[in-house]
Amino acid sequence: MAGGGAPKADEPSPHPPKDQLPNVSYCITSPPPWPEAILLGFQHYLVMLGTTVIIPTALVPQMGGGNEEKAKVIQTLLFVAGLNTLLQTWFGTRLPVVIGGSYTFVAPTISIILSGRWNDPDPVSRFKKIMRATQGALIVASTIQIVLGFSGLWRNVTRFLSPLSVVPLVAMAGFGLYEFGFPGVAKCVEIGLPQLVILVLFSQYLAHIIRPGKNIFDRFAVIFSVVIVWIYAHLLTVGGAYNGKPPKTQISCRTDRAGLISAARWISVPYPFQWGAPSFDAGEAFAMMMAAFVALVESTGGFIAVSRYASATPLPPSILSRGVGWQGIAILLSGLFGTGNGSSVSIENAGLLALTRVGSRRV
Protein backbone atom coordinates (compact mmCIF):
# COMPACT_ATOMS: atom_id res chain seq x y z
CA MET A 1 0.00 0.00 0.00
CA ALA A 2 1.05 3.63 -0.47
CA GLY A 3 3.01 4.89 2.49
CA GLY A 4 3.74 1.39 3.72
CA GLY A 5 0.93 1.50 6.31
CA ALA A 6 -1.02 -1.52 7.43
CA PRO A 7 -4.32 -2.09 5.60
CA LYS A 8 -7.21 -0.47 7.41
CA ALA A 9 -9.86 -2.79 8.77
CA ASP A 10 -13.17 -2.68 6.94
CA GLU A 11 -15.63 -0.36 8.67
CA PRO A 12 -19.29 -1.36 8.85
CA SER A 13 -21.09 0.27 5.96
CA PRO A 14 -24.75 1.27 5.75
CA HIS A 15 -27.18 -1.20 4.27
CA PRO A 16 -27.08 -1.07 0.44
CA PRO A 17 -30.25 0.33 -1.16
CA LYS A 18 -31.37 -3.14 -2.23
CA ASP A 19 -31.18 -4.33 1.40
CA GLN A 20 -33.11 -1.40 2.90
CA LEU A 21 -36.46 -2.19 4.45
CA PRO A 22 -39.27 -0.85 2.23
CA ASN A 23 -41.39 2.16 3.18
CA VAL A 24 -39.26 3.25 6.15
CA SER A 25 -40.57 6.72 6.94
CA TYR A 26 -37.93 7.92 9.39
CA CYS A 27 -34.62 6.18 9.99
CA ILE A 28 -32.31 6.72 12.93
CA THR A 29 -30.83 9.93 11.51
CA SER A 30 -34.02 11.49 10.09
CA PRO A 31 -36.20 12.68 12.98
CA PRO A 32 -39.87 13.54 12.35
CA PRO A 33 -41.30 16.94 13.33
CA TRP A 34 -41.62 17.45 17.07
CA PRO A 35 -45.46 17.15 17.28
CA GLU A 36 -45.38 13.84 15.43
CA ALA A 37 -42.35 12.68 17.43
CA ILE A 38 -44.17 13.36 20.70
CA LEU A 39 -47.20 11.35 19.59
CA LEU A 40 -45.02 8.47 18.39
CA GLY A 41 -43.05 8.57 21.65
CA PHE A 42 -46.30 8.46 23.63
CA GLN A 43 -47.29 5.41 21.58
CA HIS A 44 -44.05 3.67 22.61
CA TYR A 45 -44.92 4.56 26.19
CA LEU A 46 -48.34 2.91 25.84
CA VAL A 47 -46.74 -0.26 24.44
CA MET A 48 -44.24 -0.63 27.29
CA LEU A 49 -46.83 0.43 29.90
CA GLY A 50 -48.45 -3.00 29.71
CA THR A 51 -45.31 -4.76 30.91
CA THR A 52 -44.67 -2.04 33.48
CA VAL A 53 -48.11 -2.48 35.04
CA ILE A 54 -48.52 -6.25 34.69
CA ILE A 55 -45.27 -7.20 36.44
CA PRO A 56 -45.88 -5.21 39.69
CA THR A 57 -49.56 -6.16 39.59
CA ALA A 58 -48.56 -9.83 39.66
CA LEU A 59 -45.64 -9.58 42.10
CA VAL A 60 -46.50 -6.90 44.68
CA PRO A 61 -49.59 -8.67 46.15
CA GLN A 62 -47.50 -11.86 46.55
CA MET A 63 -44.91 -9.80 48.41
CA GLY A 64 -47.55 -8.50 50.79
CA GLY A 65 -47.99 -5.01 49.35
CA GLY A 66 -51.29 -3.27 48.69
CA ASN A 67 -52.43 -0.74 46.13
CA GLU A 68 -50.22 2.01 47.56
CA GLU A 69 -47.08 -0.13 47.29
CA LYS A 70 -48.13 -1.33 43.83
CA ALA A 71 -48.58 2.24 42.58
CA LYS A 72 -45.20 3.26 44.00
CA VAL A 73 -43.43 0.30 42.36
CA ILE A 74 -45.04 1.13 39.00
CA GLN A 75 -43.96 4.76 39.34
CA THR A 76 -40.42 3.66 40.20
CA LEU A 77 -40.29 1.21 37.29
CA LEU A 78 -41.46 3.90 34.86
CA PHE A 79 -38.92 6.39 36.19
CA VAL A 80 -36.02 3.94 36.00
CA ALA A 81 -37.11 2.77 32.53
CA GLY A 82 -37.02 6.34 31.25
CA LEU A 83 -33.63 6.97 32.84
CA ASN A 84 -32.16 3.75 31.41
CA THR A 85 -33.59 4.46 27.96
CA LEU A 86 -31.88 7.87 27.92
CA LEU A 87 -28.58 6.34 29.06
CA GLN A 88 -28.76 3.68 26.33
CA THR A 89 -29.63 6.15 23.56
CA TRP A 90 -27.00 8.66 24.68
CA PHE A 91 -24.06 6.49 25.74
CA GLY A 92 -24.83 2.85 24.90
CA THR A 93 -25.62 1.61 21.42
CA ARG A 94 -27.29 4.97 20.64
CA LEU A 95 -30.12 3.05 18.97
CA PRO A 96 -33.82 3.95 19.35
CA VAL A 97 -34.43 1.23 21.94
CA VAL A 98 -36.59 1.30 25.05
CA ILE A 99 -35.09 -0.26 28.17
CA GLY A 100 -37.94 -1.43 30.38
CA GLY A 101 -39.01 -4.19 32.73
CA SER A 102 -38.45 -7.79 31.71
CA TYR A 103 -40.44 -10.95 32.34
CA THR A 104 -37.12 -12.82 32.51
CA PHE A 105 -36.60 -11.61 36.09
CA VAL A 106 -40.06 -12.64 37.30
CA ALA A 107 -39.07 -16.27 38.02
CA PRO A 108 -36.15 -15.48 40.40
CA THR A 109 -38.27 -12.82 42.11
CA ILE A 110 -41.02 -15.37 42.73
CA SER A 111 -38.42 -17.78 44.12
CA ILE A 112 -37.42 -15.09 46.63
CA ILE A 113 -41.07 -14.57 47.55
CA LEU A 114 -41.70 -18.28 48.07
CA SER A 115 -38.45 -18.98 49.92
CA GLY A 116 -40.11 -18.42 53.29
CA ARG A 117 -37.12 -16.46 54.59
CA TRP A 118 -39.08 -13.22 54.81
CA ASN A 119 -42.28 -14.29 56.58
CA ASP A 120 -43.69 -11.50 58.70
CA PRO A 121 -47.15 -11.04 60.26
CA ASP A 122 -47.20 -7.45 58.98
CA PRO A 123 -47.75 -7.63 55.20
CA VAL A 124 -46.15 -4.23 54.52
CA SER A 125 -43.07 -5.19 56.53
CA ARG A 126 -42.90 -8.47 54.59
CA PHE A 127 -43.15 -6.55 51.32
CA LYS A 128 -40.23 -4.30 52.24
CA LYS A 129 -38.06 -7.23 53.34
CA ILE A 130 -38.69 -9.09 50.06
CA MET A 131 -38.10 -5.91 48.07
CA ARG A 132 -34.76 -5.35 49.81
CA ALA A 133 -33.77 -8.94 49.06
CA THR A 134 -34.69 -8.41 45.40
CA GLN A 135 -32.63 -5.22 45.37
CA GLY A 136 -29.55 -7.03 46.67
CA ALA A 137 -29.93 -9.82 44.10
CA LEU A 138 -30.30 -7.32 41.23
CA ILE A 139 -27.27 -5.32 42.34
CA VAL A 140 -25.11 -8.45 42.31
CA ALA A 141 -26.64 -9.74 39.06
CA SER A 142 -25.85 -6.48 37.26
CA THR A 143 -22.14 -7.24 37.47
CA ILE A 144 -22.38 -10.04 34.88
CA GLN A 145 -23.50 -7.66 32.13
CA ILE A 146 -21.26 -4.81 33.29
CA VAL A 147 -18.18 -7.05 33.21
CA LEU A 148 -19.01 -8.84 29.96
CA GLY A 149 -19.99 -5.59 28.25
CA PHE A 150 -17.38 -3.05 29.28
CA SER A 151 -14.49 -5.53 29.28
CA GLY A 152 -15.22 -6.40 25.64
CA LEU A 153 -15.67 -10.12 26.34
CA TRP A 154 -19.17 -10.09 24.86
CA ARG A 155 -17.71 -8.57 21.70
CA ASN A 156 -15.93 -11.87 21.04
CA VAL A 157 -19.27 -13.72 21.19
CA THR A 158 -21.20 -11.35 18.93
CA ARG A 159 -18.67 -11.80 16.13
CA PHE A 160 -20.24 -15.20 15.47
CA LEU A 161 -23.81 -13.88 15.24
CA SER A 162 -25.46 -13.74 11.85
CA PRO A 163 -29.01 -13.04 10.64
CA LEU A 164 -29.55 -16.81 10.59
CA SER A 165 -28.98 -16.96 14.36
CA VAL A 166 -30.46 -13.58 15.32
CA VAL A 167 -33.88 -14.07 13.68
CA PRO A 168 -34.78 -17.20 15.71
CA LEU A 169 -33.43 -15.50 18.84
CA VAL A 170 -35.69 -12.45 18.45
CA ALA A 171 -38.62 -14.65 17.42
CA MET A 172 -38.29 -16.85 20.51
CA ALA A 173 -38.09 -13.78 22.75
CA GLY A 174 -41.26 -12.43 21.17
CA PHE A 175 -43.11 -15.75 21.32
CA GLY A 176 -42.23 -15.98 25.00
CA LEU A 177 -44.45 -12.96 25.63
CA TYR A 178 -47.47 -14.93 24.41
CA GLU A 179 -47.26 -16.95 27.63
CA PHE A 180 -48.11 -13.79 29.55
CA GLY A 181 -50.16 -11.83 27.05
CA PHE A 182 -52.80 -14.27 25.89
CA PRO A 183 -53.83 -15.52 29.35
CA GLY A 184 -54.41 -11.85 30.15
CA VAL A 185 -56.59 -11.50 27.06
CA ALA A 186 -58.52 -14.62 28.05
CA LYS A 187 -59.34 -13.15 31.47
CA CYS A 188 -61.51 -10.57 29.72
CA VAL A 189 -61.93 -11.76 26.15
CA GLU A 190 -64.77 -9.34 25.36
CA ILE A 191 -62.25 -6.48 25.72
CA GLY A 192 -58.96 -8.14 24.79
CA LEU A 193 -60.17 -9.66 21.51
CA PRO A 194 -61.63 -6.40 20.11
CA GLN A 195 -58.32 -4.70 20.95
CA LEU A 196 -56.43 -7.20 18.79
CA VAL A 197 -58.96 -7.02 15.96
CA ILE A 198 -59.02 -3.21 15.88
CA LEU A 199 -55.20 -3.02 15.99
CA VAL A 200 -54.92 -5.35 12.99
CA LEU A 201 -57.73 -3.51 11.18
CA PHE A 202 -56.08 -0.10 11.55
CA SER A 203 -52.51 -1.17 10.86
CA GLN A 204 -53.01 -3.73 8.08
CA TYR A 205 -56.25 -2.83 6.29
CA LEU A 206 -57.43 0.77 6.74
CA ALA A 207 -53.94 2.00 5.91
CA HIS A 208 -54.32 0.43 2.44
CA ILE A 209 -58.04 1.03 1.88
CA ILE A 210 -58.03 4.75 2.77
CA ARG A 211 -54.99 5.99 0.91
CA PRO A 212 -55.00 9.60 2.24
CA GLY A 213 -54.79 8.23 5.76
CA LYS A 214 -52.07 5.68 5.12
CA ASN A 215 -49.43 7.40 7.24
CA ILE A 216 -51.95 8.03 9.99
CA PHE A 217 -53.65 4.67 10.44
CA ASP A 218 -50.59 2.44 10.29
CA ARG A 219 -48.32 4.84 12.21
CA PHE A 220 -50.73 5.53 15.09
CA ALA A 221 -52.66 2.26 15.12
CA VAL A 222 -51.86 1.56 18.77
CA ILE A 223 -53.14 4.94 19.97
CA PHE A 224 -56.37 4.59 17.96
CA SER A 225 -57.05 1.06 19.18
CA VAL A 226 -56.25 1.78 22.85
CA VAL A 227 -58.52 4.87 22.94
CA ILE A 228 -61.42 3.11 21.22
CA VAL A 229 -61.24 -0.02 23.37
CA TRP A 230 -60.80 1.88 26.63
CA ILE A 231 -63.94 3.94 25.89
CA TYR A 232 -65.75 0.69 25.04
CA ALA A 233 -64.57 -0.92 28.30
CA HIS A 234 -65.64 2.15 30.30
CA LEU A 235 -69.11 2.03 28.73
CA LEU A 236 -69.40 -1.63 29.73
CA THR A 237 -68.36 -0.70 33.26
CA VAL A 238 -70.77 2.19 33.79
CA GLY A 239 -73.52 0.28 31.99
CA GLY A 240 -73.46 -2.43 34.64
CA ALA A 241 -72.24 -5.27 32.41
CA TYR A 242 -70.07 -6.62 35.22
CA ASN A 243 -72.38 -6.07 38.16
CA GLY A 244 -72.66 -9.29 40.09
CA LYS A 245 -69.71 -10.90 38.32
CA PRO A 246 -66.96 -12.69 40.31
CA PRO A 247 -64.30 -10.38 41.82
CA LYS A 248 -61.58 -11.77 39.55
CA THR A 249 -63.64 -10.88 36.46
CA GLN A 250 -64.35 -7.38 37.76
CA ILE A 251 -60.65 -6.74 38.45
CA SER A 252 -59.73 -7.88 34.93
CA CYS A 253 -62.51 -6.14 33.01
CA ARG A 254 -63.74 -3.07 34.88
CA THR A 255 -61.99 0.27 34.43
CA ASP A 256 -62.51 1.31 38.06
CA ARG A 257 -61.06 -1.64 40.00
CA ALA A 258 -57.28 -1.27 39.61
CA GLY A 259 -57.00 1.01 42.65
CA LEU A 260 -53.80 2.59 41.30
CA ILE A 261 -55.05 6.13 40.69
CA SER A 262 -56.58 6.51 44.15
CA ALA A 263 -53.53 4.96 45.83
CA ALA A 264 -50.90 6.97 43.94
CA ARG A 265 -49.52 10.17 45.39
CA TRP A 266 -49.89 13.44 43.50
CA ILE A 267 -46.12 13.94 43.51
CA SER A 268 -43.69 11.09 44.14
CA VAL A 269 -40.00 11.15 43.22
CA PRO A 270 -38.30 7.71 43.44
CA TYR A 271 -34.90 7.62 45.10
CA PRO A 272 -32.29 4.93 45.76
CA PHE A 273 -32.87 2.60 48.73
CA GLN A 274 -36.40 3.93 49.23
CA TRP A 275 -37.39 0.56 50.73
CA GLY A 276 -34.35 0.41 53.02
CA ALA A 277 -30.85 -1.05 52.82
CA PRO A 278 -30.68 -4.05 50.44
CA SER A 279 -29.99 -7.52 51.80
CA PHE A 280 -27.76 -10.04 50.06
CA ASP A 281 -28.00 -13.82 49.76
CA ALA A 282 -25.73 -15.95 47.58
CA GLY A 283 -28.48 -18.28 46.32
CA GLU A 284 -30.83 -15.43 45.43
CA ALA A 285 -28.03 -13.52 43.69
CA PHE A 286 -27.00 -16.59 41.67
CA ALA A 287 -30.58 -17.15 40.46
CA MET A 288 -30.87 -13.50 39.47
CA MET A 289 -27.54 -13.69 37.62
CA MET A 290 -28.91 -16.51 35.49
CA ALA A 291 -31.89 -14.32 34.60
CA ALA A 292 -29.51 -11.44 33.81
CA PHE A 293 -27.59 -13.67 31.40
CA VAL A 294 -30.83 -14.71 29.65
CA ALA A 295 -31.79 -11.03 29.38
CA LEU A 296 -28.32 -10.35 27.97
CA VAL A 297 -28.83 -12.84 25.14
CA GLU A 298 -32.36 -11.60 24.41
CA SER A 299 -31.27 -7.97 24.37
CA THR A 300 -28.39 -8.74 22.02
CA GLY A 301 -30.92 -9.94 19.47
CA GLY A 302 -33.09 -6.93 20.26
CA PHE A 303 -30.24 -4.50 19.58
CA ILE A 304 -29.54 -6.11 16.20
CA ALA A 305 -33.24 -6.13 15.26
CA VAL A 306 -33.73 -2.47 16.20
CA SER A 307 -30.66 -1.41 14.21
CA ARG A 308 -32.16 -3.17 11.18
CA TYR A 309 -35.62 -1.60 11.60
CA ALA A 310 -34.03 1.84 12.02
CA SER A 311 -31.94 1.39 8.84
CA ALA A 312 -28.83 2.07 10.92
CA THR A 313 -25.29 1.02 10.16
CA PRO A 314 -24.80 -2.68 11.04
CA LEU A 315 -23.72 -2.83 14.67
CA PRO A 316 -20.00 -3.40 15.21
CA PRO A 317 -19.29 -5.97 17.96
CA SER A 318 -17.63 -3.29 20.09
CA ILE A 319 -20.75 -1.07 20.08
CA LEU A 320 -22.95 -4.07 20.86
CA SER A 321 -20.71 -4.95 23.79
CA ARG A 322 -20.84 -1.36 25.05
CA GLY A 323 -24.64 -1.42 24.90
CA VAL A 324 -24.64 -4.59 27.00
CA GLY A 325 -22.42 -2.85 29.55
CA TRP A 326 -24.86 0.03 29.84
CA GLN A 327 -27.70 -2.44 30.17
CA GLY A 328 -25.83 -3.82 33.18
CA ILE A 329 -25.90 -0.27 34.56
CA ALA A 330 -29.65 -0.34 33.94
CA ILE A 331 -30.05 -3.48 36.07
CA LEU A 332 -27.87 -1.86 38.75
CA LEU A 333 -30.16 1.19 38.81
CA SER A 334 -33.19 -1.11 39.02
CA GLY A 335 -31.64 -2.67 42.10
CA LEU A 336 -30.70 0.66 43.67
CA PHE A 337 -34.14 2.22 43.18
CA GLY A 338 -36.04 -0.96 44.05
CA THR A 339 -38.24 -1.79 41.05
CA GLY A 340 -38.55 -5.47 41.98
CA ASN A 341 -37.59 -6.30 38.40
CA GLY A 342 -34.55 -6.12 36.13
CA SER A 343 -34.19 -4.31 32.82
CA SER A 344 -33.74 -5.37 29.22
CA VAL A 345 -34.53 -4.22 25.69
CA SER A 346 -38.28 -4.00 25.23
CA ILE A 347 -39.15 -6.52 22.50
CA GLU A 348 -42.61 -4.95 22.31
CA ASN A 349 -41.12 -1.64 21.24
CA ALA A 350 -38.89 -3.38 18.68
CA GLY A 351 -42.09 -4.82 17.23
CA LEU A 352 -43.64 -1.35 17.21
CA LEU A 353 -40.70 -0.09 15.13
CA ALA A 354 -41.53 -2.76 12.55
CA LEU A 355 -45.21 -1.84 12.65
CA THR A 356 -44.83 1.93 12.33
CA ARG A 357 -41.59 1.85 10.27
CA VAL A 358 -40.31 4.78 12.30
CA GLY A 359 -36.83 4.19 13.72
CA SER A 360 -35.90 7.72 14.75
CA ARG A 361 -33.83 8.21 17.90
CA ARG A 362 -35.80 11.39 18.63
CA VAL A 363 -38.99 9.34 18.97
Residue 313: per-residue pLDDT: 80
Residue 170: per-residue pLDDT: 80
Cα 188 to its chain centre, rounded Å, is 23
Residue 296: per-residue pLDDT: 92
Residue 11: per-residue pLDDT: 60
Residue 72: per-residue pLDDT: 94
Cα–Cα distance measured from residue 237 to residue 155, given in angstroms and rounded to the nearest whole number: 53
DSSP labels, 90-102 = HTSS-SS--EEE-
Residue 227: per-residue pLDDT: 93
Cα–Cα distance measured from residue 295 to residue 197, given in angstroms and rounded to the nearest whole number: 31
Mean pLDDT (10-residue bins), the chain, 363 residues: 53 61 80 90 88 88 92 94 94 92 91 87 92 96 95 89 79 75 81 91 82 75 92 91 85 82 84 93 93 91 87 86 95 94 84 82 87
Residue 1: per-residue pLDDT: 46
| Distance (Å) of CA 205 to CA 200, 224, 227, 263, 359 | 7, 14, 18, 40, 22
Runs of H (alpha helix) within the chain = 34-63, 67-90, 106-113, 123-150, 153-158, 163-176, 178-187, 189-200, 207-209, 214-217, 221-238, 247-253, 260-263, 282-309, 317-337, 347-356
Helix 221-238 to helix 34-63 angle, to the nearest 10 degrees? 50
| Distance (Å) of CA 83 to CA 90, 205, 234, 287, 337 | 11, 36, 32, 25, 11
* Farthest CA pair distance, the chain: 86
